[in-house]
């Protein structure tokens, strides 16, 4: 029987009603008591790391979760992290970079309603997660939610209230959990057998600029004084405005002149970017050597560059690491 460590971090699954709204107060040990049937297929230990709303999650929490898993890694066969849904995709992506090549499954789950409610998705999600973490074919970081296993770098919360809150973006689901069975859609028989590697540093000095029509490029100038990297969420397949004053051209020139990182991505959820299609993207990318997210999710881009900048500040190393596929995060580069 597999030994699973369940780590509690808070979120809706751990909430109770208060006069000020839902607040996470239920411990991981209490949460586990709502799924007694899980002990029929695995042995489960619990540890409470913190108990916070996931809106308050920061990189320091990601590092704490990774450190707890590293400390216990040799003693357990799999790990389940209970977490709030609002930043779950960011945490799953961050852990994918902080814990790489794990032959043991690391599952992130939560719920849209607290586990002590009569009508809730929490008990099913938790039971499914423990079952997936107990499966001999499971590995690496995955979100398990609403009967689906989603690669940690591909998950995105697309619904605020419905039980099917998460989707796998630009990539198929890894597996489904149905009638107490885990059915894998992806065959990993040729997966490289590498040793698990843990990382211990992230640089959170990363900013995000979401473009809207007529936005002043001086915002990029301000950000250049405060951040080591900026992610620009552009329109469509990607590009920067070429208004009369060419302010975006000048702002990007300043960023690259300072040796800082500029990453272009798209506001469109599905199908990714391709800056080579239009003049507004092709010319500026070619001249300044901007990084491009392609089919990556925003959550993966944010956490990946935080992880990379925690390891190096050398532009060429940053480029090589950014385009290396980790836990299925980017496929476009490998086929073009």
Q: Report the alpha-carbon distance of residue 230 to residue 50 in Å, rounded.
A: 30
For 310, list phi and psi in degrees, rounded to 5: -75, -15
Q: Report the alpha-carbon distance of residue 328 to residue 336 in Å, rounded.
A: 16
Q: Helix 247-257 crosses helix 279-288 at what angle (to 10 degrees)?
A: 20
For the chain, the C-alpha Rg in angstroms (whole number) is 21
12, 87, 91, 266: the catalytic one is 12
Query: Which residues on neighbouring strands pair with residue 262, listed in sequence order?
Result: 230
The Cα-based distances of 241 to 34, 257, 286, 301, 335 in angstroms read 53, 20, 15, 22, 28
9 is catalytic: no
Q: Report the alpha-carbon distance of residue 276 to residue 238 in Å, rounded.
A: 8
Catalytic residues: 12
């Amino acid at each position: 029987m597999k030994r699973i460590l369940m780590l509690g971090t808070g979120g809706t699954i751990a909430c109770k009603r208060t006069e000020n709204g839902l607040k996470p107060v239920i411990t991981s040990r209490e949460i586990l008591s709502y799924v007694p049937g899980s002990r029929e297929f695995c042995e489960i230990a619990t540890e409470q790391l913190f108990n916070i709303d996931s809106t308050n999650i920061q990189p320091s929490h990601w590092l704490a979760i990774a450190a707890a898993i590293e400390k216990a890694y040799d003693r357990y066969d799999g790990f389940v992290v209970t977490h709030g849904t609002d930043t779950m995709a960011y945490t799953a992506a961050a852990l994918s970079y902080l814990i790489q090549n794990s032959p043991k499954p690391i599952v992130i789950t939560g719920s849209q309603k607290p586990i002590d409610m009569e009508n809730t998705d929490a008990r099913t999600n938790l039971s499914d997660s423990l079952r997936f973490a107990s499966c001999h074919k499971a590995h690496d970081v995955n979100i398990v939610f609403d009967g689906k296993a989603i690669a940690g770098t591909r998950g995105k919360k697309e619904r605020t209230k419905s039980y099917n809150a998460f989707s796998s973006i630009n990539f198929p689901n890894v597996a489904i959990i149905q009638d107490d069975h885990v059915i894998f859609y992806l065959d990993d028989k040729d997966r490289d057998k590498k040793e698990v590697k843990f990382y211990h540093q992230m640089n959170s000095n990363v900013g995000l600029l979401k473009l809207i029509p007529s936005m002043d490029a001086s915002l990029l100038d301000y950000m250049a004084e405060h951040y080591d990297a900026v992610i620009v969420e552009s329109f469509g397949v990607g590009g920067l405005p070429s208004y009369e004053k060419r302010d975006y051209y000048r702002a990007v020139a300043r960023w690259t002149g300072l040796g800082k990182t500029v990453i272009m991505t798209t506001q469109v959820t599905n199908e990714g970017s391709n800056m080579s299609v239009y003049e507004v993207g092709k010319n500026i990318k070619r001249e300044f050597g901007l990084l491009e997210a392609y089919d990556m999710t925003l959550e993966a881009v944010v956490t990946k560059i935080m992880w990379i900048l925690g390891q190096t500040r050398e532009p060429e190393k940053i480029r090589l690491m950014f385009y290396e596929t980790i836990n299925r995060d980017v496929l476009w580069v490998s086929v073009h």
